[in-house]
């Protein structure tokens, strides 16, 4: 059991070191959040744009009397 807690302690220490980024965490993580947030946002927006364009086209076709 003591072995387990020692390993857990080592793991938590490693994680703490990783997330602290040698004291630069307030700079590194916000930069990554902005960059990855933008990737996700544009991916979601592009999918939504295509879905909206399809929906609008379907409505237009339906108004003409055809039904895809």
Partner 1 sequence: MSWAWFHRFGSPPYFYWVAGKIAPWFGWPSLVLLLIGLYGGLVLAPVDYFQSDAYRIIYVHVPASWLALLTYSTMAISAAIGLIWRIKIAHAVAVACAGVGAGFTIVSLATGMIWGKPTWGAWWAWDPRIVSQLFLLFFFAGYTGLRAAIDDTDRADRASAVLAIVGIVNVPIVRYSVDWWNSLHQAPSVMRADGPTISWSMLWPLLTMALAYTFYFGWIMLVRARAEVLRRDRGSNWVREALTNEAAGARS
Angle at 12 between CA 11 and CA 16, to 5 degrees: 120
39 touches partner 1 by CB under 8 A? yes
**Phi, psi of 17, deg, nearest 5:** -65, -45
Are 8 and 16 a contacting pair, CB within 8 Å?
Answer: no
**Total chain residues near partner 1 (CB under 8 A):** 34
Q: Shortest distance, CB of residue 10 to partner 1, whole angstroms?
A: 16
Applying CB under 8 A, the residues found at the interface with partner 1 are 18, 21-24, 27-28, 30-32, 34-36, 38-39, 41-43, 45-47, 49-50, 52-54, 56-58, 60-61, 64, 66, 68
């Amino acid at each position: 059991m003591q072995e387990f807690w020692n390993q857990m302690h080592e793991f938590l220490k490693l994680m703490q070191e990783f997330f602290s980024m040698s004291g630069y965490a307030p700079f590194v993580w916000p930069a990554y959040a902005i960059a990855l947030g933008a990737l996700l946002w544009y991916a979601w927006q592009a999918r939504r744009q295509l879905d909206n364009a399809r929906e609008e086209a379907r409505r237009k076709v339906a108004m003409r009397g055809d039904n895809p």
